């Protein structure tokens, strides 16, 4: 609480000293005004004509203008009218200091041109100082409020930045929890969730789901011969090729090591569609690789893949846990593909 109070008081301590513009074409009156206002905590700017008053308002921001009406070039009414028509000075309070307000007509005319008050000559020093202090207090209060609002806006902007950064960090944490750090593909946890969602949609839409399990043939020799960094680079290129070979509605995930899986939703033609996708992935993955390992030239690498395909609901009918049954079927088909010569696609059925 004390800290907030200190923060609220701080802007008042940094406010610039307010300025008062005094306009009178009689030098003796200017001298008298300076003497009367000498105890006021404000900077005085003294000018002797309407034109000089307008020029001063271009260079300064005034808390108050004490304006004589009777002047030879531009009278006080014209000066007040011009100032009230400018956005920068429209809200600057003007007190007319003149004997011309001795009748109501001139008073109304003065208010029409933007005067907020008037002081009749001869000037009563107590009345002058009292009214000036009132308007200076209003000005300081307005300035303090503006500074507090500006400070609050700054804090709000900082808070928005912190909230955005926190949301970004939370999103990054969620992403890391569900994606493989090396390939940025969905990891096993997200893969399992995507399979379950796909099966539920297939139930509602009476459609098929194809599940493809992939194991990379020839990955271990690359890892052993060229090192783990080369293996990582190869896995990243494999992930890139797999992402580009499937539809946006499908999911490719890295299950671990050199094993990948693809969830093929809405497989309209059932086993045939999944078989075709498997053949396509075989061709995509078999194309030569060039690994950038920081050497003079990229290192050429060739691999293959063994792919097992299972279809929902065909390959998990009657199972208590259909997701696990479908995964086991695809995994068994992939193992059979490796055992029967590798670099091929086998259907679980």
Residues with a known catalytic role: 258
Cα angle: 193, vertex 195, 201; to 5 degrees: 105
Distance CA 296, CA 284 (A): 26
Residues near 265 by beta carbon (within 8 Å), at least 6 away in sequence = 198, 201, 202, 207, 209, 249, 250
Tokens standing for residue 292: 């950038």
Q: Give me the sign of the Cα torsion angle 316, 321, 327, 333.
A: negative
Neighbours of 335 (CB within 10 A): 15
Neighbours of 306 (CB within 10 A): 24
**Residue 110 burial (CB < 10 Å; 0-12/13-18/19+)?**
buried
Reported residue count of the chain is 349
> Any alpha helices (H) in 289-341, and if so which ranges?
322-339
- Give how far Cα 72 sits from Cα of 24, 56, 186, Å: 10, 18, 84
Tokens standing for residue 122: 């001869």
């Amino acid at each position: 609480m004390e800290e907030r109070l200190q923060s609220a008081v701080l802007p008042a301590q940094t406010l610039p000293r307010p300025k008062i513009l005094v306009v009178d074409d009689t030098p003796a009156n200017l001298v008298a005004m300076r003497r009367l206002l000498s105890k006021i905590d404000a900077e005085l700017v003294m000018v002797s004509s309407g034109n000089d008053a307008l020029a001063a308002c271009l260079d300064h921001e005034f808390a108050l203008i004490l304006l004589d009406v009777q002047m030879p070039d531009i009278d006080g009414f014209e000066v007040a009218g011009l100032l009230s028509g400018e956005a920068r000075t429209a809200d600057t309070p003007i007190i007319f200091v003149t004997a011309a307000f001795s009748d109501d007509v001139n008073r109304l005319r003065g208010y029409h041109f933007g005067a907020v008050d008037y002081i009749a000559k001869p000037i009563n020093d107590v009345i002058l100082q009292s009214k000036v202090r009132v308007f200076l207090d209003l000005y300081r209060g307005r300035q303090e409020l503006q500074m507090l609002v500006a400070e609050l806006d700054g804090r709000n902007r900082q808070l928005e930045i912190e909230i955005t950064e926190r949301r970004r960090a939370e999103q990054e944490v969620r992403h890391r929890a569900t994606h493989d750090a090396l390939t940025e593909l969905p990891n096993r946890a997200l893969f399992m969730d995507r399979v379950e969602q796909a099966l539920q949609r297939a139930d509602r839409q009476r459609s098929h789901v194809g599940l493809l399990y992939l194991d990379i043939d020839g990955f271990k020799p690359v890892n052993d011969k060229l090192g783990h960094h080369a293996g990582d680079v190869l896995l990243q290129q494999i992930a890139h090729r797999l992402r580009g070979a499937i539809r946006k509605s499908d999911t490719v995930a890295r299950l671990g090591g050199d094993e990948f899986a693809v969830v093929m939703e809405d497989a309209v033609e059932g086993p045939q569609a999944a078989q075709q996708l498997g053949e396509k992935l075989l061709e995509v993955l078999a194309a030569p690789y060039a690994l950038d390992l920081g050497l003079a030239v990229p290192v050429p690498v060739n691999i293959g893949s063994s792919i097992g395909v299972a279809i929902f609901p065909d390959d998990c009918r009657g199972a208590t846990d259909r997701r696990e049954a479908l995964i086991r079927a695809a995994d068994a088909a992939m193992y059979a593909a490796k055992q029967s010569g590798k670099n091929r696609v086998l259907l679980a059925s």
